[in-house]
């Protein structure tokens, strides 16, 4: 078995992983595992982010306002110390991006560049920095170029992480605490048949993004299958708050549009949600109307669709702005809609909610540190306490930058011991040799079954009965997945199926633990928040318990 060694192993190539790698490369060697082609514009959720990044950069705004907006959106489950830390360092993280070459929209005012700020749901002020309507792509492309040209960073493209390397696997009778020493990965570049290789690292950073593909309808890229969360859980790390999958209120509704997001920035610029009759309905659900927090908007749209029997609702921009404005401010969205025969300058955009962002994940502190030494989780993979029960719009890219910055600072200031002998003790990956190609269609069917089950039973509106049915049906799938994983030669489809099944199970178990409705999680059997501190606390899960 081929084995690599490095100081830092970064699993994932989105904003969290790339920003960490750039800073870690100043301290040692870095290997990045990219699940697909590194240059692909749709191979991370970061690259697909449209709206922008939240930070206090205006004299009219304040840290306290941003902190309060985040806490309100989080519905009582945010860790205020983490929120305060991330919000107050946000301007410095923006400076990092600018230093890396990222360009935000703005104009020169005298001798000074003045950035254009927009407003999104739940924010009290305009504080969203953006690059047209493709902020994520701008950031991803600039950081990718820097990473490519950094001699201390090695990129392994089309490498699929399988499992973490834990000292207990290397020395089963070792009584020392669990420690992470890297990961096994499937190299999909091999011409005839993919092979498993080992990457041994002093520090392993999970930056694998979210898990939107666990649901039938999602805004996420095709590889968002919760890989890092599933790997960490199998290794013994804690996960929490998996019931809090945020459903973005507005994804394009069209038979040929798989996962195209209609940014919240459109509503920030005056877009109004209307029903099939052309009626603006959001004021009936919340004083902020179409700019209410995402969980409220998503549930309101779901209720309106069910009330009217329509397939979707609509976002009206035509009555608010000129064609020239829409083309210049939202060029990607305008052209993508036009591709599907929708001219947003003269007609409303059909939209529906879709799984978008996971507020739970691997439990970490503000530096991304898990309870397994040598293992860190950053970005959407982590549950830092920033988002609580519902993420405030455009705080996600901010979290990617802050956790990655804090992680490298923590690692440098708190080095852990590393048994160099263990590098030589990493065993070859053992697996059955057969690969039954005729069984791959069954794997595809099981994948679809999990995603449809999650959408129908663990979606925007839940109930005790739906969750019980989901858990019962998923148990059969988990047993089948275990059989496939143990009996057939390693295949990326099998690995992803294994991960989404585990993430789905964790989500259902967390949802069943929450005997209330809070933030994103809404259960018709418990329609209100609970004041019982034992009910509203985070829903921790530990492997084996």
Q: Which has the closest alpha carbon to 101: 69, 66, 68, 147?
A: 147
Cα–Cα distance measured from residue 352 to residue 215, given in angstroms and rounded to the nearest whole number: 14
Nearest to 221 by CA among 362, 390, 49, 458: 49
Nearest CA-CA partner of 220 in 268, 261, 262, 173: 261
Q: Which residue has the tokens 């530990």?
A: 542
Write the DSSP string, 125-181.
S--EE-STT-HHHHHHHHHHHHHHT-TTEEEEETEEEEEEEEHHHH-TT--SPP-EE
Element (H, E) at 412: helix 396-413
Tokens at 434, concatenated: 């057969």
User: Are 374 and 202 in contact, with CB atoms under 8 Å apart?
Assistant: yes
CB 444 within 8 A of CB 432: no
Catalytic residue among 294, 299, 329, 514: 294
The residue assigned the tokens 């084995």 is 3
Token pair recorded at residue 472: 């019962």
Whether 294 is catalytic: yes
Where does residue 41 rank: exposed (0-12), middle (13-18), buried (19+ CB within 10 A)? Answer: middle
- Residue 313: in which H helix or E strand, if any? strand 313-316
Name the nearest CA neighbour of 508 among 208, 222, 246, 245: 245
Per the structure block, which two tokens stand in for 409?
A: 């600072």
Tokens of 194: 């993919």
CA dihedral of 24, 228, 295, 301, whole degrees rounded to 10:
120
* Three-class DSSP labels, 495-541: HHHHHHHHHHHHHHHHHHHCCCCECCECECCECCCCCCHHHHCCCEE
User: How far is the C-alpha of 80 from the C-alpha of 64, rounded, in Å?
Assistant: 11
H/E/C letters for each residue in 232-297? HHHHCCCEECCCCEEEEEEEECCCCCCCCECCCHHHHCCCEEECCCCCECHHHCCCCHHHCCHHHH
Distance between first and last Cα of the chain: 34
Closest by CA to 357, choosing from 509, 215, 496, is: 215
DSSP state of 428: P
Cα–Cα distance measured from residue 304 to residue 313, given in angstroms and rounded to the nearest whole number: 8
Catalytic residue annotation: 294
């Amino acid at each position: 078995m081929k084995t690599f060694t490095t100081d830092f192993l970064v699993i994932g190539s989105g904003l969290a992983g790339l920003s960490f790698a750039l800073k870690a490369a100043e301290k040692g060697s870095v290997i990045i595992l990219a699940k697909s082609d590194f240059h692909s514009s749709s191979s991370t959720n970061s690259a697909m982010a449209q709206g922008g990044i939240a930070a206090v950069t205006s004299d009219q705004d304040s840290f306290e306002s941003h902190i309060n907006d985040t806490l309100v959106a989080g519905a009582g489950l945010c860790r205020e110390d983490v929120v305060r830390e991330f919000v107050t360092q946000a301007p410095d993280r923006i400076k990092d991006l600018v230093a890396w070459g990222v360009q935000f929209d703005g104009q020169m005012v005298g001798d000074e560049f003045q950035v254009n700020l927009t407003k999104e749901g739940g924010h009290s002020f305009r504080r969203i920095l953006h690059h047209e309507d493709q902020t994520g792509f701008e950031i991803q492309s600039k950081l990718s170029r820097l990473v490519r040209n950094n001699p201390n960073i090695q990129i392994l493209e089309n490498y699929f992480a399988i499992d973490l390397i834990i000292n207990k696997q290397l020395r089963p009778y070792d009584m020392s605490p669990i420690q992470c020493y890297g990961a096994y990965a499937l190299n999909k570049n091999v011409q005839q048949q993919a092979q498993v290789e080992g990457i041994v690292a002093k520090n392993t950073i999970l930056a694998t993004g979210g898990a939107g593909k666990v649901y039938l309808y999602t805004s996420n890229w095709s590889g968002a299958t919760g890989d890092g969360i599933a790997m960490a859980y199998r290794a013994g790390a804690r996960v929490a708050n998996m019931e809090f999958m945020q459903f973005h209120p507005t994804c394009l509704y069209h038979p040929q549009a798989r996962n195209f997001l209609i940014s919240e920035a459109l509503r920030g610029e005056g877009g109004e949600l209307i029903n099939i009759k052309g009626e603006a309905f959001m004021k009936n659900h919340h004083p902020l109307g179409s700019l209410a927090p995402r969980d409220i908007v998503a549930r309101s749209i779901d209720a309106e669709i069910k009330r009217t029997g329509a397939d979707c609702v609509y976002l009206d921009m035509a009555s608010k702005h000129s064609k020239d404005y829409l083309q210049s401010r939202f060029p990607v969205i305008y052209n993508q809609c036009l591709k599907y025969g929708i001219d947003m300058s003269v007609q409303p955009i059909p939209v529906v909610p879709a799984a978008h962002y996971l507020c739970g994940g691997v439990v970490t502190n503000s530096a991304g540190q898990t309870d397994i030494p040598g293992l860190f989780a950053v970005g959407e993979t982590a549950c830092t306490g920033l988002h609580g029960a519902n993420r405030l719009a455009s705080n996600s890219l901010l979290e990617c930058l802050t956790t990655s910055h804090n992680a490298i600072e923590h690692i440098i200031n708190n080095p852990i011991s590393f048994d160099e002998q263990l590098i030589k003790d990493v065993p070859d990956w053992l697996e059955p040799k057969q690969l039954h190609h005729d069984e791959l269609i069954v794997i595809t069917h099981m994948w679809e079954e999990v995603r449809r089950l999650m959408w129908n039973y663990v979606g925007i509106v839940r109930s005790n009965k739906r969750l019980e049915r989901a858990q019962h049906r998923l148990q059969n799938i988990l047993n089948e997945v275990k059989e496939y994983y143990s009996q057939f030669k390693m295949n990326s489809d099998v690995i992803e199926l294994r991960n989404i099944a585990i993430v789905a199970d964790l989500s259902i178990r967390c949802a069943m633990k929450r005997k209330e409705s809070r933030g994103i999680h809404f259960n018709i059997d418990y329609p209100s928040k609970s004041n019982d501190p034992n009910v509203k606390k985070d829903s921790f899960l530990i492997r084996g318990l």
